A = this chain, B = another copy of it.
Amino acid sequence: MTRQEQKRASPQTRRRGDALVQSIHEAALAELAAVGLGRLTMEGIARRAGTAKTSLYRRWSAPHDVLLDAIRDEHPQEVASPAADDLRGDLLRALRQLVAWLGTPTAAAVAAIMAERRRYPELARALYERVFDARGGRFTLTVLRFYAARGHIDPARITPIVADLGEALVFKLALDADAPPSEEQLVAIVDQAILPALGLDPARRSGKS
C-alpha cells in the first residue's frame, strides 16, 4: 500500500470546487421548490447543501444568482428529431418530452420565476438573457416546421397561436390537476386541438367514408 492509497482510504469530509458547486446548485433548486422565490435565502440554500454560508458568498452575492447558475447548468435541452413520416407520432413524442421536462426541478424553477416575473423583473430578464431566449424551446414547433418543409402541412397554418397550442394545453392541464397530463390527454391534445388547427382533423377524415 503506497502513501497515495493510504490517503485515499480516509473518507473525505469536504467537497471542493465543481463538486461543491454542483451540490449547491441542486440544493438551490430543491430549496426553491420547497419555499418559493420569496423565501429563498442564502441560509436555506447553505443549510440544504450542507455547507457554510461563506462558501456561497465566495461565489455569489445573492440567492437569485445561485438559482440562475443552477438553472443554466441543469438546463441543457435536446428536442427529439422528427421521424419524417409520422406527424401525429412526432407531435405526441414532443408533448411527452415536454411533460418529462415539466417534472424536473429546473422546470419548476423556471415556472416559479415566470409566475412572479412582475415581482422580480430583473430575475426574469436574467433568465432570458443568461439561460434561454423566451421564444425558443417550443417542443412542438420543431415538429411542425419539419413537416411543413416536407409539404405535409400548409405552412400558412403554423401561426403563433397554433404553435402555442400544445404547450398551452399541457401547462393548463398540469396546473389544473397539479399532475402531469396522462398519455390519453396528450393524445386528445393532438387529435382534438392540434391536428384540427392544422386542417388535418381526424374526426373529419374518418367522417369522409
- Chain A residues engaging chain B, CB cutoff 8 angstroms: 33-39, 111-112, 114-119, 134-135, 157, 159-162, 164-165, 167-169, 171-173, 175-176, 178, 185, 188-189, 192-193, 196-197, 199, 201, 203-204
Q: Beyond the given A39-B39, A193-B197, could you list 18 further A-B residue pairs with CB under 8 A, ordered by the A residue number? A: A33-B118, A36-B116, A38-B38, A112-B115, A115-B116, A117-B178, A157-B203, A159-B192, A161-B192, A162-B192, A162-B193, A165-B165, A165-B193, A171-B171, A196-B199, A197-B197, A199-B203, A199-B204
Q: Would A197 and B196 count as touching, CB distance under 8 A?
A: yes
In the bound assembly, the distance between CA atoms of A39 and B116 in angstroms comes to 12
Count the copies: 2
**A176 contacts which chain B residues (CB < 8 A)?**
134-135, 164
In the bound assembly, the distance between CA atoms of A134 and B67 in angstroms comes to 32
In the bound assembly, the distance between CA atoms of A84 and B13 in angstroms comes to 74
**A38 contacts which chain B residues (CB < 8 A)?**
35-39
- Of all chain B residues, which has the CB nearest A118? B178
Which of A118, A168, A171, A204: most chain B Cβ within 10 A?
A168
- Of all chain B residues, which has the CB nearest A32? B119
The distance from the CB of A120 to the nearest CB of chain B, in whole angstroms, is 9
The distance from the CB of A79 to the nearest CB of chain B, in whole angstroms, is 18
In the bound assembly, the distance between CA atoms of A145 and B33 in angstroms comes to 39
Asked whether A161 and B185 contact (CB < 8 A) given A171-B171, A193-B193, A201-B196, the answer is: yes
- Of all chain B residues, which has the CB nearest A171? B172
The distance from the CB of A23 to the nearest CB of chain B, in whole angstroms, is 23
Which 10 A-B pairs rank lowest in CB-CB distance, beginning with the nearest? A38-B38, A115-B115, A168-B172, A196-B196, A168-B168, A38-B39, A36-B38, A161-B188, A161-B192, A196-B197
